[in-house]
Structure 1
Amino acid sequence: MAQLIIEVPGTKISELEKTSSVSRGDVIPVVQDEETKQADIGQISDFVKSELGSAALKDVADFATPTSVAEVSQASQMRDDAQNERIERMEYSVYLFQKNGVYKAYRTKALMLLDVSNIPVNSIVTVVDDPDNNPDINDINGEYHFDGNDFLKLENNVLGLIKSKMAQAESNSKSYTDTEIKNLENNIDVSFENLIGKFVLSSDSENIFEFKDSSGNVVLALNKKGQLVSYDEDTKRSILLTNQEDIKELQKFVDELNLNNISVLLKLLATSNSSDLYTFEDSDGNIVLRLTKNGMLRSGQIDGLHNAVDALEYLKKLSKQSDDSKLIRFEDAEKNLLGYVDKFGNWVFNGVDVLNEINELKKFKNKAQAVTALKQIAVKAPESIIQIYLTDLPNLPDAKGTTVSGKGEFHFDGQSFSCFVKLEVQGASSASYAKKNWNIAFFSDQALTKALDVKIGDLLPHDELVFKSNWIDHTNIRNAMCYRLWEQFTASRTGYPRLETEKPYIGKTGKSALQSGANGVPRLYSALLYINDEFYGIGSFGTAKKRSNYNISKNKPKEIHIGMDGWNDITNLEVTNPTLYEMKAPSTPTADTWTAISNWNAFAQLSDANFTAQADNYLDKQNAIDFMIFAEFVKCRDVVSQNSAKNFQFISYDGKKFMFMPYDMDTVFGLEWTGAVVYDDTTGSQLVWNSSSSFWRKVKATYNTDIEARYKQLRDQKIISVENIYNLSTDLFSKFSISVVELELARWPVRPSLNITSLEQILTWTKKRIAFLDTYFNYTA
């Protein structure tokens, strides 16, 4: 801009007379190119406006002050911070969702806010059916992240988005693996046809597979009917080793033919002390085929095949990763499965466990055995791992309430049975886990109209059992072990009745006095599960919390069975229309039912003196003492905490005395409910707190002498001991071989407690807990 230089010879500018006004025509001097010239004020005004633009037309009030500019900047930063915080919470919530699933579901947002004191920090909760929800924008229903202060609503269908991404990743992984294995197969320079060609026949033969001696005589064959057949060359008669009706028909066939010269059959039925269960010989006495005691079928040709495969180390590694449970499959031309040999030594043809049936035949030799169709399956309590194969199942459900059907095979220490099954997710929490628990219902018909009871050992027959996946406890110990521990508690009692479930028999005779097998607590056995021939995982298989296992009638008003599904106040249970617990029995509660619960609440809230006076009327003394000691020992944090109660089963046979029965015992020995944390919480009481309203404080005060005596008995009998916990634990997990555990880790490499809990952690925690309880219950050896 040009510099303004005003020169007034002899007179200073400050001394000039001031003008009263100016107009556009007035002039002022300006210097241009070192010459002084005049310019109209109008020109100067137009020049200033052109330089300032639209700002020249604004009023002074239109311009922001420095204070207002600072306020706007601060507000903008606050918006950015809030948005970043929301994004971070959303990312963390997705992580929690994937890792822990949904902690709890509420019908309305109001119920969620009301229960805020019971919701752990950093939990994901769900509102499912709020009447004020706008379905167009879904502004209330859905998942929320609770950070301890407030609830952040997550994006709609966040779980679906997660699963979609995971499914796509899994699909891409499988596609890549299939391609690599196919390329490997194409490059293998081994002719498998040359090795096993003598076993595979042309389609015009009546047999699919034949095993011959050196003279070409067939000694063993599998025909197109799925029958395992042996031949006697003298009589030219075939011997059915497996039959579509029943393998025991073999005995009748033997008796009819009087086949005294059939060496192969005699070998099958003979007792051998060698490493082979059965051997097949040619006419010269040469062994052409051996069935070893470890379930291997061996011959020169088969051994050659084994050696060829063993040489392919890379192929062995790929084969080991296969989830298929069947080592050898026998199929017809249409690829229908006729039989198989699995990796656990089971030989199954047309649904018949051949080795098991042959062993049964060996017991009876030539005695004819009558065959009767059973309407109830009974198997002995297994000493080794249970093997479960579920097939013909569609896509597995991911939510409780949806069922799918298919077929099932169940193997118990050589005993086995097949049936039709219906599958459903078990447990609300399990539905959110990657590896779920499953209810498996049994049926004898494909239409699923005829329920089939299964009796394991001395247990009550059940038409439905549960496979517990033990997602949060990768040791697969806690749940099953604690139930066995409770059974040890009850077995150590004296007199009769010992079990809570035996109390209804008192004073009864005849049929009403017969023991049903109900034991009042789940019984779980180590098991592994295959679904559609793919390895699903290891876990526990057995009974759950069915009403019948508590010896409770279906619909008698005063025979009450309550399942504590949510957190309840044990001194103030809901009366009528409960939302925090499930009324499992009676099926139709009456006024007598609700009165019984109301009376319980009144008793539980009594003052110390009145509580003690009424305790024997409302409590079963033995049950209350044992449950208290049991809960304190294992510290079941997801079952009982001071006056809060969840998961355990609450039962009464007369509508007056109530009893506590343990259930859902995976959050014990320090493990937190998500499985992501192990607490060193070995001191302090899990039940008693210093308050006049503390229910368990009043129980302890009422029965303290008996409680201390019972604790001493359990300690002296080594039921409460590190050694007993070790024995119970190892009996469970030792059923799983290292190879099976490797399958589990390959199938589920990410588990909440994988690197934080172990047998050592459980035993260390137990030792410290017992040290505290010995003082708490005044124990002296």
Structure 2
Amino acid sequence: MTKKLKVELQNSGFKTNSFNLKACYTDPTAGLNIVNAELFKQITASRPNLANSIVNDMPNYGQVAGIPLELGINNLDQGLYVLEPYQEDKLYNLDDKLSDNIALSDNQSDLSTFTQPFTTDDLVDTAFNNRSPKKVDQSVVDRFNELYQLANASDADYYKLEEQYLDVFAAIDYLTFISAINDVDGITKNITYISKAGSKWVLMPYDLDMTWNTLYNGAIMSIDTNIEDLLNSYQQRLLLTIYNHRQDVIDRYKELRQNILSTNNITNLFNGWLTKVGSAAFENDDALWGDITIPGGTHRHPVNVADFDIMLKQRLANVDHFLGLI
């Protein structure tokens, strides 16, 4: 085959030659990643500085999208999958052949806490995964160490360095979002740091299926976690330093609670997804794969919509309390 073609997926809005098919036995909704991504997309669209940010040129504002489907291979039923069309560097509108098109995702190591400067070896699918560029050279390291400088800046230097290196509105939205959705992994993992052609650094969430009340192994996660407690527990210096903007995070959360982070909007997003999947697809998938687990893990059976709505409402009420709104 010499010609690459795109496939247009009926009723999806997607036209692509590159996509993922995903299934996650730990996610009782099959759509935590997709719905949370849509939620952050909406938050991003309301961001004050969006027109001047590199995020404005990213497809879907740098967030995955997806549709549910029932997969068959050679007439063999494979159950429920989610198709996601956007891929790594393309998701962020980067050219991974260029050293100044940078997207580095945290890989949850000791270096995730920004306690020491980085080397080339740290940024090549080790402490951080290099989504872009393909070849990490010293110029990439020097740029990424700007964040190290920021994380370890003195009070006198911090705001000067922040103005120089950081997309502050994106960082405030990041902290606000992970707090709301109970994204425990969003502190020392599942963060992508992005800069293009010398731009300020953007913090971007990804891999959002361990959120709300869902753990990586299928167990129920507590919805009583407080972002401030987690930041202090993990001692991630960069996020702790950015949390100097605590009042800005509170103000942004308060603003978003009136619309995008309202209980009604989030409930409607999840209920819309669950309706799109349909009870028959959930039941069929559970019949096919209901025994799939990992050692010590739990297979999550399809979500009870009423119970899930209650959980969403309680989590948001908890965050209201943590941030002093009630």
TM-score by length of 1: 0.37
Q: Is 2:42 the partner of 1:488?
A: yes
Q: 2:165 aligns with which of 606, 618, 629?
A: 618
Are residues 753 and 550 of structure 1, via their aligned partners in 2, closer, same or farther at CA, if it must alter by over 3 Å? Answer: same
Q: Is 2:67 the partner of 1:520?
A: no
- Greater share of helix residues, 1 or 2? 2
Are residues 543 and 662 of structure 1, via their aligned partners in 2, closer, same or farther at CA, if it must alter by over 3 Å? Answer: farther
- Greater share of strand residues, 1 or 2? 1
Q: Is the 8 A contact 1:480 1:523 kept in 2?
A: yes
Q: Is 2:20 the partner of 1:466?
A: yes
Tell me the residue number matched to 1:560.
102
Q: Is 2:242 the partner of 1:695?
A: no
Q: 1:767 aligns with which of 307, 313, 319?
A: 313
Q: Is the 8 A contact 2:147 2:165 kept in 1?
A: yes
Aligned residues: CA RMSD: 2.9
Tell me the residue number matched to 2:295.
none
Q: Is 2:222 the partner of 1:680?
A: yes
Q: Distance in 1 between matches of 2:311 and 2:53?
A: 29
1:289-334 per-position Cα deviation (integer Å, ceiling 9, x unaligned)? xxxxxxxxxxxxxxxxxxxxxxxxxxxxxxxxxxxxxxxxxxxxxx
Q: Is the 8 A contact 2:21 2:82 kept in 1?
A: yes
Counterpart mapping for 1:1-150 below 5 A: none
Moved more, 456-465 or 611-620: 456-465
Counterpart mapping for 1:629-640 below 5 A: 629-640=176-187
Q: 1:532 aligns with which of 74, 90, 94?
A: 74
Per-residue deviation, 1:523 = 0.6
Per-residue deviation, 1:494 = 4.3
Tell me the residue number matched to 1:598.
145
SS at match of 2:227: coil
Q: Any unmatched runs of 5+ in structure 1?
A: 1-446, 503-514
Per-residue deviation, 1:678 = 0.6
Q: Distance in 2 between matches of 1:501 and 1:459?
A: 21
Per-residue deviation, 1:478 = 1.2
Are residues 554 and 690 of structure 1, via their aligned partners in 2, closer, same or farther at CA, if it must alter by over 3 Å? Answer: closer
Per-residue deviation, 1:623 = 0.5
SS at match of 1:660: strand
**Paired AA for residue 3 in structure 2:** K
Moved more, 459-468 or 493-502: 493-502
Report which structure shows greater RCO (CA 8 Å, sep ≥6).
2
Per-residue deviation, 1:598 = 2.3
Q: Is 2:5 the partner of 1:452?
A: yes
Counterpart mapping for 1:159-170 below 5 A: none
Counterpart mapping for 1:346-745 below 5 A: 447=1, 449-454=2-7, 462-494=16-48, 496-497=50-51, 500-502=54-56, 517=59, 519-567=61-109, 568-571=111-114, 572=116, 574-578=118-122, 579-640=126-187, 644=188, 646-655=189-198, 657-675=200-218, 677-685=219-227, 687-689=230-232, 694-701=237-244, 703-717=245-259, 719-745=260-286
Q: Is the 8 A contact 2:7 2:16 kept in 1?
A: yes
% of aligned pairs identical?
A: 23
**Paired AA for residue 169 in structure 2:** Q
Per-residue deviation, 1:547 = 0.5
Per-residue deviation, 1:690 = 7.1
Q: Distance in 2 between matches of 1:662 and 1:737?
A: 28
Per-residue deviation, 1:685 = 1.6
Q: Distance in 2 between matches of 1:732 and 1:757?
A: 12
Q: Distance in 2 between matches of 1:544 and 1:564?
A: 19
Are residues 531 and 617 of structure 1, via their aligned partners in 2, closer, same or farther at CA, if it must alter by over 3 Å? Answer: same
Q: Distance in 2 between matches of 1:518 and 1:767?
A: 27
Q: Distance in 1 between matches of 2:173 and 2:301?
A: 33
Q: Distance in 1 between matches of 2:307 and 2:53?
A: 32
Per-residue deviation, 1:500 = 4.1
Q: Any unmatched runs of 5+ in structure 2?
A: 293-297
Number of residue equivalences? 314
SS at match of 2:80: strand
Are residues 749 and 586 of structure 1, via their aligned partners in 2, closer, same or farther at CA, if it must alter by over 3 Å? Answer: closer
Rg larger for:
1
Q: Is the 8 A contact 1:465 1:544 kept in 2?
A: yes
SS at match of 1:467: strand
**Paired AA for residue 689 in structure 1:** N
**Paired AA for residue 273 in structure 2:** L
Q: Is the 8 A contact 1:459 1:517 kept in 2?
A: no
Counterpart mapping for 1:200-349 below 5 A: none
Per-residue deviation, 1:562 = 1.3
